[in-house]
Structure 1
């Protein structure tokens, strides 16, 4: 009898063109967060055609798939995000986005194609697996706005799950390599909104007004200058303003300005210290300028903290696929956000980075209008998801009383 690893790998290799075509189909027909209805239907149809049970989320966006475990048994889940970004696709490829202003610039089309392939491989090779391997594929909407994981959890996606794994494509990692990190992998994120209410007037007579644009510029400068010097330099903190909105004409001092930004830290405690410092800056500028400054903090995604035991199983799975020498440790956490953290409140898990940078040419960064991947990575990622699922299922069985 063939080894289950050989059977899974052979099935995935034999369907490499189909996996690539799924990714290209999704890339050409992207749907942004909260609009993933057709993507969900497409995936449900493919899974049901193969005989895999499917449950679509109550919103009609997102689904779970996989066999039901026996009573009292747990299962291993793997997750893919399915939403796209509101970015213009600037590539000139046959599969470039057909929807103006929307594209898969973060690799979610690849994540989805790999999870679909892993699902089909586990199903088709079920007779060769080491016993009954209960598994669940979670195809999640709205990752880019930090809401999808919580939606899927509320829909029951994590019921009876003992471990959860995922991949994220990484254009800084070479094709044929995977990268891992035990412990903190991504940042704790908050959104920041600041409304500066001044008093409008004529641009030629600023003394008759309270200029919110001047206050806004001072506020941003103060945050950038003083927040980093208010926290331990060994504790990474990033505060970035990405939106400034105010005014309609060059000769009018506006009534108000709205600032929007993000705070990234590696712990909730650090986020609290940063928020307090920002409030102090707002109070000081209110006293100095006469403007009214309202600061609002909105909780985003928690940090992804990879579980040591699950991570070791994923490292082993990755080593089986690409060789142990091609599995590299990530030295430092990322200040990016990932709502995979929403699943980790319910089960231990691990998020790996999959190399998608092809040889001999630079690879565009995530969220770039030129973003693309070396599609040979798709079969690598599908194998790693499937191997990880079996290894973790086997480990969970061996620990049952």
Structure 2
């Protein structure tokens, strides 16, 4: 007889679904991999590589995935890896892709742990080491089930380990390298230190903001600091411009629409008593909706023209798109949410109330195929003041690694169940956009 003390935690967790035979086997495989996943992630954390330099990380992943027996290829310039698992007897299905990023940040690691970064000024402070580990765990478990004949039906999965997310070039490079060829959907996770382990954040539609770089050059005329009336001061114009933008943009944006404009760099002048000729400003613009983005850009141009006229300077404003907004596909969110409930019960589901104003180059994949990103709670439950993303003390509760692998792997298998609604919605409609070459 099953003791009540064993049943009680299931009721407290909201009764996770009883697992089928293949789901039980998958969970067992993931459990067996847990220690190796933790060690792999710690090795990446010790040896981080910034965007554009992910050569050793890519080579390590290439070797591991190749040893698994997956069809594996390197990304452009020896950075990034694409691996394929196909158990179909013919070419009758598209693949579902899982994406993890692999680059680190130029941040010094201040944690006192044995897996602290060994590179001064470089650190995995955004969880990319964990993202890559989650995808690797899913690949390992699914390949083991394939070798043992334990998959319930054929699947076709692609595992994308992407470089240069932090500088918004990696996704486009991997797409050009064929990462989305014959792919019908893509899924990813992101660490979320604002949620405890055991919670998964879901949101349909906009999850992150579009990110635009603002580059402004103000041309004036130089002069002596003691006689500003003889010059057209670009520093004074810059101060007016920044203040006016910060005050005016909220007044011309509808209250239910989110807009953030911030300047992080001001460059101008070489001497404290000389009014310079030129000042340069660099900032960021974040919006959620395409029309809001266009309207805000127009407002910024109009305000700059007014300040230029008032200060008798020339103000050149340029915008450079970093990433578009991540817009999650509703069907994929439902698929991932169902898998989460199977694993953790309804208490594991956290519905994200509003989009983040942060950016993610995962959005570039969504220009070509439906996709979804979920946020995995990675703080230890009960902890106070868990370090947030890009913190010098950022870390994760490492139980999130096997959980994330399980969540993604079972979602891939479930999507291929013959006759299921996921199979109908995600895999049977092979539109031309899945095969067109992406634009340069």
Q: Is this contact kept in 2: 1:310–1:392, CA < 8 A?
A: no
Q: Is this contact kept in 1: 2:84–2:156, CA < 8 A?
A: yes
Of 179-188 and 207-216, deviating more is: 207-216
In the other structure, the counterpart of 1:332 is 354
SS in 2 for 1:390: helix
Please state if 1:57 is matched with 2:104. Answer: no
Tell me the distance in 2 between the aligned counterparts of 1:254 and 1:393. Answer: 64
Q: 2:189 aligns with which of 167, 174, 177?
A: 167
Map Cα deviations across residues 252-290 of structure 1 (whole Å, 9 max, x no partner).
222211111111111121111111111111111111111
Q: 1:133 aligns with which of 141, 150, 155?
A: 155
Q: 1:155 aligns with which of 153, 161, 177?
A: 177
Q: Is this contact kept in 1: 2:76–2:173, CA < 8 A?
A: no
Please state if 1:383 is matched with 2:412. Answer: no
Tell me the distance in 2 between the aligned counterparts of 1:283 and 1:397. Answer: 54
Q: Is this contact kept in 2: 1:75–1:393, CA < 8 A?
A: no
Please state if 1:103 is matched with 2:123. Answer: yes
Task: State the TM-score, normalizing by the size of structure 2.
Answer: 0.88
Tell me the distance in 1 between the aligned counterparts of 2:403 and 2:37. Answer: 11
Map Cα deviations across residues 182-205 of structure 1 (whole Å, 9 max, x no partner).
111111221110011122232222
Equivalent residues in 2 for 1:358-373, closer than 5 Å: 358-359=380-381, 360-373=383-396
The Cα RMSD (Å) is 1.6
Tell me the distance in 1 between the aligned counterparts of 2:316 and 2:106. Answer: 29
Q: How many residues align?
A: 401
Task: State the TM-score, normalizing by the size of structure 1.
Answer: 0.96
In the other structure, the counterpart of 2:66 is 48
Tell me the distance in 1 between the aligned counterparts of 2:406 and 2:271. Answer: 57
Map Cα deviations across residues 370-394 of structure 1 (whole Å, 9 max, x no partner).
1111111111111111111111222
Equivalent residues in 2 for 1:290-329, closer than 5 Å: 290-329=312-351
Q: 1:67 aligns with which of 85, 99, 109?
A: 85
Displacement of 1:398 after TM fit?
A: 5.3
Please state if 1:86 is matched with 2:92. Answer: no
Tell me the distance in 2 between the aligned counterparts of 1:313 and 1:230. Answer: 39
Q: Is this contact kept in 1: 2:22–2:152, CA < 8 A?
A: yes
Question: Gapped runs of 5+ residues in structure 1?
Answer: none
Tell me the distance in 1 between the aligned counterparts of 2:303 and 2:97. Answer: 45
Q: Is this contact kept in 2: 1:363–1:373, CA < 8 A?
A: no
Tell me the distance in 2 between the aligned counterparts of 1:218 and 1:347. Answer: 43
Tell me the distance in 2 between the aligned counterparts of 1:216 and 1:94. Answer: 47
Runs of 4+ in 1 over 3 A off after TM superposition: 395-401
Displacement of 1:16 after TM fit?
A: 1.2
Q: Is this contact kept in 1: 2:153–2:416, CA < 8 A?
A: no
Q: Is this contact kept in 2: 1:27–1:109, CA < 8 A?
A: yes
Displacement of 1:58 after TM fit?
A: 2.7
Q: Is this contact kept in 2: 1:244–1:258, CA < 8 A?
A: yes
